[in-house]
A and B are shown apart, each in its own frame.
Chain A
C-alpha cells in the first residue's frame, strides 16, 4: 500500500511570517494538531504542532487577552528541518518512521519539497483497521498451522470450495514456538459453521472459541 493511497490531500498550511495567534486559531477551528509551514511554491520549510504553540502561549492563568507572545511569527518556533515522505513510499516503511521518531504526523512532498499531502497517526491506525478486515461485516476464524511452505493455499482452498470470500488474512507467530504460525481469517459470512467443520475434518487446529465443539452442544 502506498502513502498516496492513505494521505490526506487537503492540507491546511501557514507561512513562516504568520503569527502564533493565527496558528492557535486555526488549530482550534479545524481540530487539527499539526500545520506545515510553507513558502510560496508550497515547499515545506518547517512544521508546528499544537504542543509548540502551547509552549509559546501564555499560561491560561494569566488573563491578558492580547498577549504579546502570540504576536511572534511562526518561524521563531517551528521545527526545522522537517522529516517528510514521498507519495510512493510504502505505508509499512513510514510506519517505521512514526515508531522510531515518535512523530504523530508526516508531510508528504514531491520535488523541491513541494507539499502534496499529510499522513497522521490516525490514518495509520485506520489502515491497520482495514488490514484486519474488521471494518467489513465478517466472521473471525483462527487456525494454528505448521510453519511450512504451501500451508496457506491448503487452508484457503477450503474457503474457496465453500464460495466464501476472505476479507483479510493475517499471519502471526504462535507463542514462542517457531514450528507453528497462527492464521487469522475474516470471512464474509454469518454462518462459518460449514467451514469450521471442514477445517476440523481436515485435521487443522482451530483456536478459541472454535477449538472446542462444546461446551456448546
Chain B
C-alpha cells in the first residue's frame, strides 16, 4: 500500500492545560513528536498546523449556551452555579484562562485532519491533541471541554455525507461520542474499554446498542479489569473486523487513548506495547479495505506520559506513515533530553519486556471477554 500521512501539530495544542497537578498533560504530544523526529520518522513536511474551530463549527454538536458559558469561563466571568450546571469548575474539568481558545484549537486540529484527508492532500491524518470523547452537548466531563470527535463527525456528515465508523480504544468508555450519534444509522461507534463497574464513566455496557434508526449501530465491549494483551488483541481483532464488514464505512476515525497500558495509573487494564502496535495496524488495514485509505486518528487518554504515551502514539504514527512499527532501541538523544525531567526511568526499547505483569485470573478474564464479544456481535449478521 502506498500511503501518505499528515501530523497535525502546533504549540497551540499544548495550551489545553488545566493546572500543574492535573493528570491530563499535553506535554505527551510534544514528547511523542520529538521522539518521532529523533528517529527520523517525522519530517517537517508532514507536519500540518491546526486551524481554530469557529463557533459555528462547535455548534454542530454543542449547545450555543454551553459555548457561551465556556467563553465566559475563559475570562473568569462565570458564576459558580453556572459553572456547576455546565460541569465546569470541578476537579476533572477546572476552569483555566483562555480555555475556550485552547479547546477550540483542539477541535480545529481535528477538523484540519478531516480537511486534509477529504481534500485528498493526504490519505491518513493524525491529531494527537484530539480525542476528547467525554465532552457532552452542554456539559464538560472527564477532562474534556469540547468534543472534537463528535464535532468532526457532524462536520463529515453535513459537508460530505459520509458513513463514519468511529473506533475508540481508550480505556474509558467513549460516552460523549456514543450519545451524540445514538440514533444515527450513518455513524457507527465501537468502543472497547474497561468495564464501567469501577471505572469512569460507568457506561458502555454491551446492551447499549443505539436507539430508533440508530439501533444496532452502537457497539460496546466492556473488558474485565486486568485484561492483558492476548485477550485484548483477540477481541479487538474480531470486533473491528466484523463491525467494519457489517457497516462498510466510507471513512474511519479512531480514538487512540493510550491508557489501557498496565503502567497507566488511572485504569485497571494491563496491556503492553504489543496491543498499541496491533491497534493501529488493523485500523490501517480496515481503512484501506473499506475507505480507500481515509483514516483520521486522534489522541485521547494516556496518563503515564513518560513510559507509555510517546511510544504508543509513536507507533501509531509509524503505522500511518509507512505501515510498519519500529523495533529496537529508543534514540539516545531523546532519552538524554528528557531523562532528567521524567520521574521514572524512561524505556530503552520500543517494545516492553515480554511480560510486565502476571495476572492470576487470566483464564477467567479471557473467557469473560470472549463471551462479551459474542454478545456484542450478535446483531452484526442479522440486520441488513
Contact = CB atoms under 8 A, between A and B. Distances in A.
Contacts of B266: 190-191, 193
A147 B147 CA distance: 44
Contacts of B90: 163-165, 188-189
A216 B358 CA distance: 10
Contacts of A86: none
Interface stretch (A49-57, A61-69, A110-118, A133-141): A133-141
Contact of B23 (A138, A139, A164, A191): A191
A22 interface: no
Interface in B252-311: 262-266, 268, 270
B37 interface: no
Interface residues on A, range: 20 to 34
B201 interface: yes
A72 B57 CA distance: 61
A215 B226 contact: yes
Contacts of B141: 137, 190
B265 A193 contact: yes
Interface string A201-217: 00000000110001111
Contacts of B358: 215
A163 B266 CA distance: 18
A141 B198 CA distance: 7
A210 B225 CA distance: 11
A86 to B, nearest CB: 34
B265 A137 contact: no
B332 to A, nearest CB: 25
A210 B264 CA distance: 14
B254 to A, nearest CB: 21
Interface residues of B, number: 30
A186 to B, nearest CB: 7
Given A209-B268, A215-B270, A137 B91 contact: no
Given A186-B202, A190-B142, A190-B201, A217 B263 contact: yes
Nearest to B141: A137
Contact of B172 (A136, A165, A190, A209): A190
Contacts of A162: 91
B135 to A, nearest CB: 11
Interface in B149-208: 172, 175, 196-203
A189 B91 contact: yes
B65 interface: no
Interface in B102-142: 134, 141-142
Nearest to A217: B263
A189 B92 contact: yes
Interface string A135-154: 01111110000000000000
B313 interface: no
A215 B357 CA distance: 6
Given A164-B91, A216-B263, A190 B134 contact: yes
Interface of A: 133-134, 136-141, 162-165, 186, 188-193, 209-210, 214-217
5 nearest CB pairs, A to B: A137-B201, A190-B200, A190-B142, A215-B357, A139-B200
Given A190-B92, A209-B225, A209-B226, 6 more contacts: A134-B202, A136-B202, A164-B91, A188-B90, A190-B142, A214-B357
